[in-house]
């Protein structure tokens, strides 16, 4: 009787936990480099762990599939400065349809002035390290 009860409990736990564990892919461990036409941008998921992934990775087709920035039709026009280009999403200081990198960095730099150069500067910042 105990074994049956234990097995049913484990099965229930697996059925409940499996969809939660599979809901979102794991964030990369190390920093990622986005190569632009002139400069590269470094993005570190660990420093952004407190934020909801959906701020940047929007639902695709109403499903919880986290697309990449340069997915066709999203921000794949990296070379131009059109509203949907990756450049605009990173550098616009005002929020577009959603929060941008620089709008968030500018907000934090305003609250923490000692981090202004690190968060909103160009060369030598957390984004453009070289």
Q: What is the CA radius of gyration of the chain?
A: 20
Task: Assign 23 a pLDDT band (cuts: 50, 70, 90).
Answer: low
In our burial notation (b when 16+ CB lie closer than 10 A, e otherwise), range 9-47 reads eeeeeeeeeeeeeeeeeeeeeeeeebeeeeeebebebee
Residue 121 or 111, more confident: 111
Distance CA 18, CA 109 (A): 39
| CATH code 3.40.140.10 for 26-120 | no
Name which of 29, 65, 60 is nearest 44 in CA terms: 29
Domain boundaries, the chain: 26-120
The pLDDT value given to residue 20? 47
The pLDDT value given to residue 40? 80
Count of all residues that appear for the chain in the document: 130
Q: Tell me the average pLDDT of the chain.
A: 75
- pLDDT over 50 (residue 81): yes
The pLDDT value given to residue 24? 58
- pLDDT over 50 (residue 62): yes
What's the Cα-to-Cα distance from 50 to each of 39, 55, 57, rounded to whole Å? 27, 11, 14
Distance CA 130, CA 122 (A): 9
Residue 80 or 103, more confident: 103
- pLDDT over 80 (residue 17): no
In this prediction, residues 7-36 reach a mean pLDDT of 63
């Amino acid at each position: 009787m105990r074994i049956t009860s234990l097995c049913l409990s484990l099965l229930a736990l697996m059925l409940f936990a499996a969809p939660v564990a599979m809901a979102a892919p794991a964030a990369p461990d190390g920093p990622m480099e986005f190569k632009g036409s002139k400069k590269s941008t470094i993005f570190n998921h660990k420093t952004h762990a407190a934020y909801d992934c959906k701020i940047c990775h929007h639902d695709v087709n109403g499903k919880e599939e986290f697309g990449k920035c340069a997915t066709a039709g999203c921000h794949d026009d990296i070379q131009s400065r059109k509203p949907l280009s990756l450049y605009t999403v990173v550098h616009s200081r005002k929020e577009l349809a959603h929060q941008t990198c620089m709008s968030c960095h500018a907000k934090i730099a305003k609250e923490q002035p000692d981090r202004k150069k690190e968060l909103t500067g160009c060369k030598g910042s957390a984004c453009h390290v070289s």
